[in-house]
Amino acid sequence: MGKYALFLGCLIPMKNPQIEKAARRVFEALKLDVVDVQGFSCCPEPWNFKGASLEEWLLVAGRNLFLARKNGRDIIALCNGCSATLIEANHLLAEGGIEAKRVLELLKKRDVHLDGKVRAAHAVEVLYRDLGVDKVAKSCSAPLKGLKVAVHYGCHLLRPSEIMNVDDPFSPTMLDQLVEATGAESLPYRDKMACCGSASMNKDVSLGMARKKLMDMEEVGAQALVVTCPACFDQFDLGQIEVNRKFKESHSLPVLHYFQLLALAQGSNSEEVGLSRHKIKAKELNKVISR
């Protein structure tokens, strides 16, 4: 097993620390070697910051990668945005294309030397690839039998697939397998790989996507929606209130980060994983996990 530096990013530790709490409980339960490293900045996020300047985005990501390397650790992230940025930047800098060459020169001048040996990964990928689904299943002392879950992978966990290289970008099974390891059932549903819409600046696109996904999940009787990213989380939790207001509807599908679900299956109670902080209350879910 690898040695990891926990890359928290911004949205989880600042807006949704209950997800961080759950993840730390899980790492402990699974005896993963994960430590905190001081000095990480924003990854930086792959929407606005990358949109403003690819070069600056690579520079800042390069610094974060270097910091993990200096500590002799690989990066483990809890957010699709963080893992996408760090995996893609790592790939581009190692490949050394025109753009990357210029950035590598700038990094050298700042005493940042990347030797291509650091790895960055989403924690879900670490569980799936490094630890294995069986070990995750064995850790679940309080399986969530009877819970029907709709998983939302989040685009950046898998795409661009030639760089993420973790599962099929249109019909993956990684997260479904990990959810089923908790004892819950992962439901098939329409347009499962559609985006949550969060990153669009156009509210018609953003809320339209969120609403469509909620309806597709409700159609098959989902009792909970499981994500792996705080941006998707906000889009479906807080976003559900916005969708309800805008379309005069009453969606009430509770949203969980995968590590909250897993912590519950490992015996944490709903308060310990912070479900009461969520906008959409987990009524149905509480029935399944009440013990």
Partner 1 sequence: MLTSVSREVRVTQVNLNFRKSLSGIEKVGDLGQCFQCSACLPDCPAATFSPRFNPRDIVMRVLLGLEESLVCPDSLVWDCTTCYACAERCPQGVKPVEVITAIKNRIAEAGLLPQQVAGAVTNIKETDRVIVHSDTVDRRRKELALPELVSGERLIQRILRGEGNG
Size of the site for partner 1 (CB under 8 A): 66
Whole-angstrom Cα distance, residue 99 to residue 76? 26
- Binders of partner 1 among residues 135 to 164 (CB under 8 A) are 155-156, 159-161
Whole-angstrom Cα distance, residue 102 to residue 110? 13
C-beta of 147 vs 164, nearer to partner 1 = 164
Q: How many CA atoms lie within 13 A of 126 on its CB side?
A: 28
Q: Which stretch binds partner 1 (CB under 8 A): 135-143, 178-186, 198-206, 214-222?
A: 198-206
Query: What is the closest distance, in whole angstroms, from the C-beta atom of residue 257 to partner 1 in the complex?
Result: 14
66 is an interface residue for partner 1 by CB under 8 A: yes
Whole-angstrom Cα distance, residue 219 to residue 222? 8
59 is an interface residue for partner 1 by CB under 8 A: yes
- Binders of partner 1 among residues 228 to 257 (CB under 8 A) are none
Residue 254, preceding bond cis, omega within 30 degrees?
Answer: no
C-beta of 111 vs 115, nearer to partner 1 = 111
| CA distances (Å), origin 221, targets 2, 92, 215 | 38, 42, 10
- How many CB atoms lie under 10 A from the CB of residue 112? 18
Residues at the site binding partner 1, with contacts judged by CB under 8 A: 8-11, 13-15, 17-18, 20-21, 24, 36, 38-39, 41-42, 44-56, 59-60, 63, 66, 92, 97-99, 106, 109-112, 155-156, 159-161, 169-170, 193-202, 204-206, 208-209, 274
